[in-house]
Chain A
Amino acid sequence: MRWSATGTRRSATTPDGVPTTDRGASPVLICRHQGVRLAVLATLDSGSRAAARGWSDLAIRNAFILPTIAFLIVFNIFPLIYSLGFSFTEYRVSLQKPAEFIGLQNYADLLSDPAIWRSFTTTAQYVIVSVGGQMIVGFGLALLLNRPFKFKGLVTTLLMLPMMLSPAVVGLFWKLLYDPSWGPINYALGIGKFEWLSNRVNALFAVAITDIWMWSPFVMLLSLAGLSAIPKSLYEAAAIDRASWWYTFRRITLPLVSPLLLIALIFRTMEAFKAFDLPFIMSTASVETIAIKLYQMAFQGWDTGRASALAYIVLIVVLCITNIYVKYLNRAKER
């Protein structure tokens, strides 16, 4: 790589290419056969002439990207490394005792603890009920809305409202709606004093219904995008062939929408796996998801070492799902 200032303006540089200014002009960077100095490096393409006038493209690129990477490393990755250390120790923040190294003991204890497995089971059940419900309701809504009608934009936006709201506050007011003695839901359904949030099974469904209410519009939004991209000619051809509605749906609609449905499915699975706000506000005792268990262990039991270990187990699961998600996201982007 060789860039140098063009024209008559030659500026002085230190031997290793440190930028210097030239009579108050903008800084000029001259690099001669510089080796790779940073982990993130690239070759210059366009605009290298401009680079000679202002900051070099390389300098700009690094100045633009490195602060973000550094910020994320300092405030996200470093803390995680910090807690990885604690996950191998017996440590309580509430006590003055220093952390004591116990190797993999925390992990072994957690994986043989039936309470943890119960939490994982609850989480899995919650994911299946709530994400399953969202996929069905959301796709159904999309099929219903995928036609021209008056105020379509307004209706779609109104339906989006629930997913933009704070889950904590949504959980709170659904608690009011679910109230067994005077809640409007029991009255509307005519089911007397049905206890929505008291036992495990009911509460799981109650919280899942709230989550379905919040996030079906998300599935709907993605499905609508997929549906509106299907060429009309396919349906016309199917109509000429006198294909049944079901056949058209199975052979044209579903396959063409499925990439977006899959993205919605993975994203919602990941989010539901992390579920904390809604179940925590609505029914901590009955729907003990893994995130709630983690919160209780870390911030109510103050069992910092073990909680760090559990956090790592959760983290690995989430990163796996994220990986799959990004893969499909990139694939959808390429289309």
Chain B
Amino acid sequence: MAAVTSRGQRFGRPVAILAILAVTLIFLSPILWIGATAFKPRAVATSVPPTVFFDPEVTPFVKLLTKRVQLKQPVAPEVYEAAPWWEKLVYDGGERVLKVGDEPQLSQYPNRFLNSLIVSIVSTVLAVSMGTITAYGFSRFKIKGEQDLLFFILSTRMLPPVVVAIPMFLMYRQFDLTDSHIGLIILYTAFNLSFSVWLMKGFIDEIPKEYEEAALVDGYTRMQAFFKIVLPEAATGIAATAVFCFITAWNEYAFALIMTNRRAQTAPPFIPSQIGSGLPEWTVIAAGTVLFLLPVAIFTFLLRNHLLRGVTFGAIRK
């Protein structure tokens, strides 16, 4: 992609440019709509016809992060005046923030978000570190049945989560790992490991063997050569692989739905479960969605030059 962008800056035919603009807008409109909904007043979110222009407010985010109850009667003016800005926003919506002493009670969302972070980060670190050394092994040494082993590794990635979940659930029940962080971390590490091996093998294959051989001649051991020559050379690849693994773990739904329900539940099964109770408050759900999607959107931009490689498991590089 990088090569393509640098090739000429001149405009093509205006019709094509207009079409590209239109297509981009159409593709982005669902994301823009959910982004807008997160800042809408409650009544505006489900208005007919749909509202495009409105005064944005952050009430949905305050509501997302706090526990609230309906107000039975309007709150006393002096209490309202004394309240911080975010509490006023909730009062305006006819609700009151639940508190323990002076501290507002947090909703479940921050906890689920934190679970997602813990599980994704730990499983990414594990998968990428194991994947990198394994990729080095496959890249630099002759291995009998290398193709079969690599296929075996990739095939574990292709297994449908629900298929793996059935026996894993039975085993986790015996070891009391259901609804635990460690249980999800193991599953995500296994899931990402094969991807990480394939992607890293592509990156390490590109590092000339001569670098290490020169180091070996200079008296490095193979281990020193790996840590001091290969790893720094592979840094970009490691970073890209880590971001891909993080996104996969962050987005994963099926395992999380089956294996967790409270303590270790991550955001993807939690966010849709908010709909179940009563009239869904779409602005709050949208706010939760926006916060959840934001890291992935940022990472996508960081990854832009490695996307093709990532989605083809390192097979096709540009």
A-side residues, CB < 8 A to B, are: 26, 40-43, 45-47, 49-51, 53-55, 57, 60-61, 63-65, 67-69, 71-72, 75-77, 79-80, 82-83, 86, 93, 141, 144-145, 147-150, 152-153, 155-169, 171-174, 176-177, 179, 181-184, 187, 213, 217-218, 221-222, 224-225, 228, 260, 263, 270, 274, 276-277, 281, 291, 294-295, 298-299, 304, 307-308, 311, 314-315, 318-319, 321-323, 325-326, 329-330, 332-333
Contacts and interface: CB of A to CB of B under 8 A. Distances in A.
B120 to A, nearest CB: 11
Contacts of B10: 148
Given A68-B131, A162-B27, A228-B4, A40 B12 contact: no
A162 B4 CA distance: 22
B272 A281 contact: yes
Given A50-B216, A173-B30, A314-B160, A72 B190 contact: yes
28 contacts: A42-B142, A54-B222, A54-B223, A55-B222, A55-B223, A60-B137, A60-B141, A64-B133, A69-B153, A71-B130, A71-B189, A82-B170, A148-B8, A149-B11, A149-B16, A149-B20, A155-B20, A168-B269, A172-B271, A173-B33, A174-B30, A213-B30, A274-B161, A276-B160, A281-B253, A294-B162, A314-B160, A333-B315
Contacts of B48: 181-182, 187
Interface string B143-160: 111010101111110111
Contacts of B108: none
A281 B131 CA distance: 32
Given A68-B197, A172-B275, A308 B167 contact: yes
A64 B197 CA distance: 11
Interface stretch (B53-61, B69-77, B299-307): B299-307
B31 A166 contact: no
B160 A291 contact: yes
Most chain A CB atoms below 10 A, which of B9, B167, B194:
B167
A161 B166 contact: no
Contacts of B254: 276-277, 291, 295
A160 B307 contact: yes
B144 A76 contact: no
Given A64-B137, A67-B130, A173 B289 contact: yes
B315 A169 contact: no
A157 B301 contact: yes
Nearest to B143: A42
Interface of B: 1-5, 7-12, 16-17, 19-20, 23-24, 27-28, 30-31, 33-34, 37, 46-50, 130-131, 133-134, 136-138, 140-145, 147, 149, 151-156, 158-171, 173, 186-187, 189-190, 193-194, 197, 209, 212-213, 216, 219-226, 247, 250-254, 258, 268-269, 271-272, 275, 282, 285-286, 289, 292-293, 296-297, 299-301, 304, 307-308, 311-313, 315-316, 318
Contact of B292 (A64, A150, A166, A332): A166
Chain A contact surface mostly: helix
Contacts of A47: 212-213, 216, 222
A54 B212 CA distance: 14
B4 A172 contact: no
A46 B209 contact: yes
A79 to B, nearest CB: 4
A164 B307 CA distance: 10
Contacts of A182: 46-48, 50
